[in-house]
Amino acid sequence: MRDPAQDPDESGFGFPAPLWRAVARRRPLGLDVRWRSPLRGPWLTSVLGLVLLVVLPVVTVTGLLSYSAYGPQFDQAYPGDVGFLRLPDFDWPTDPPWLYRLNQGLHVGLGLVVIPVVLAKLWSVIPKLFQWPPARSLAQVLERISLLMLVGGLLFEIVTGVLNIQYDYVFGFSFYTAHYYGAWVFMAGFLVHVPLKLATMVRSLRGTSLREVMRTGRDQTRPETGPSHGLIPTDPDPPTLSRRGALGLVGGGSLLVLVLTAGQTVGGVSRYAAVLMPRGRQPAGTFPVNKTAEAAGISREAVESWRLTLTGGAVEVSLTREQLLALPQHTATLPIACVEGWSTTQTWTGVRLRDLARLAGVTEPSSARVESIQESGLFRAATLQGNQVDHADSMLALRVNGGDLPLDHGYPARIMVPAIPGVHCTKWVGTIDFEAG
């Protein structure tokens, strides 16, 4: 793949040449920006580009995997009706139990940590944005459009994602729709950009050794030599920072974000470092919650006369909490992992779902539809796959860490299944409908 920017006839214009020439002549006033930094150049851009080349696919793929984890085969992944814009159908695994926690930890965690790198990468190439003429051929026009898809998509994903994990829905539109389709536009831009620039990146990286840069202090720092690609300043200021200093600055920014955010996923002592994150704080004496009982419209009185209904077999089975507690109990340590990246691992005790299926008269359930007594809400019900119902650790939890479930955590009973999105661990469960296999 050849990069038009380095074609031998770069000075020439494509078809229709008079048009491009006319554009080139009409340089708007104020566009004569002098790019001051001596650090800009293909090498620096390539180093940052390489980091993004590794990290962004991980963020993207974990995002698509999360969509699969929600169970699009049951129409419970949002947005629905995405056509072929998703991974092929597969049953989301139940092992390891921390799979979804890892997936979302990577998606949200890396997505946040990479922000300083994205900003630095955009800083490093900004002279290209103000280049005049903006295009000399149709090829360059198409490339500019693909760059809007790439940069617009990336920034859009960052902005919507960062707002979503902090519950600020100032943008008004559906987060799911926007973040999912925005990702596909970004992917389209990314899949064009990488093949176009890969050779340039490799060549630029080979041109200067990282070790050499790491040994060069500020006072020895000079503008890059070699092909400019429109990045090396012709009239730079003296350096105020070495290249290694600049890389350290970007890396330090990422490290700062990591320290301030990782605790919501990793938990333990690190949670205290997430001082500005919603789940950096533990509610007194308990653990983080995704939706309060109050917000779900569940009161203490409403659950007093609670009974669980099991359907799917020949007859409907109805059980009180006492009857459930009298059944064989199973205990497992499982994480609740939210799509927003935070997670918390607790020890749950309750009745295995496969025992409940047998009680309902369904021996080999292919799926189970769980509904909450919560009256409204996008996640008041969820369908579990066969492997999720059948797993030895999948249960209707009644107790947590040796005590009764708190009301906010789903008292009288909630679903706990390994490796599923937190919102599918339905709280305040009213009915379970087992589908025979």
Partner 1 sequence: MRTPTPLLTRFRRSYGAGPAHLLLLLAGLALAVHTVRTIGLDALWDPEVWWQSIAVWFIGAAVVHDLVLYPTIAAADTVIARATTRRRAGTGTRGRRRHAGRRIPVPAVNYVRVPLMACALVTVLFLPGIIRHGADTYQRATGQTQDPFLLRWALLCSAIVLLGLAAYLVARLRAPRRTPSDPPPPAPLPDRRAVPVPGGVPAGVPAAGTGTGAVRQDRAPLLAAALVALAVVAVVLVRRRGRA
- Cβ proximity to partner 1: between 242 and 385 the closer is 242
**According to CB under 8 A, which residues from 26 to 45 bind partner 1?**
36
What is the edge-to-edge ordering of all strands in the sheet holding 365-372? 317-319, 308-311, 429-436, 365-372, 381-385
Q: Is 167 in the site for partner 1 (CB under 8 A)?
A: yes
Stretch that binds partner 1, among 101-109, 145-153, 207-215, 418-426 (CB under 8 A): 145-153
**Residue 191 makes contact with partner 1 by CB under 8 A:** yes
Minimum distance, C-beta of residue 249 to partner 1, in the bound complex (Å): 6
Query: Which CB sits closer to partner 1, 423 or 432?
Result: 423
Please report the DSSP string for 171-236 in residue order: T-S-HHHHHHHHHHHHHHHHHHHHHHHHHHHHHHHHHS-HHHHHH--GGG-----S--TTTS-SSP
Site for partner 1 in 87-126 (CB under 8 A): 112, 115-116, 122-123, 126
Among 206, 210, 214, 240, binds partner 1 (CB under 8 A): 240
Instruction: Kindly indicate which of the ranges 22-30, 103-111, 132-140, 304-312 contains the residues binding partner 1, using the contact rule CB under 8 A.
Output: 132-140
Compute the distance between CA of residue 351 and CA of residue 332 in angstroms, rounded to an integer: 11
State in angstroms the smallest separation of the CB of 115 from partner 1. Answer: 7
Q: What is the rounded distance in angstroms from the CA atom of residue 337 to the CA atom of residue 298?
A: 22
Judged by CB under 8 A, does residue 219 bind partner 1?
yes
Binding status of residue 155 toward partner 1 by CB under 8 A: yes
Q: Which is nearer to partner 1, 150 or 398 (CB)?
A: 150
Stretch that binds partner 1, among 24-32, 54-62, 180-188, 322-330 (CB under 8 A): 180-188
251 lies in the binding site for partner 1 (CB under 8 A):
no
Which residues on neighbouring strands pair with residue 351, listed in sequence order?
A: 396
434 CB contacts (<8 Å, ≥6 apart)? 310, 311, 312, 313, 356, 357, 360, 362, 365, 367, 368, 389
Question: Per the omega criterion (within 30 degrees of 0), is the bond before 133 cis?
Answer: yes
Closest CA to 412 of 354, 365, 366, 351: 351
Residue 379 lies near partner 1 (rule: CB under 8 A): no
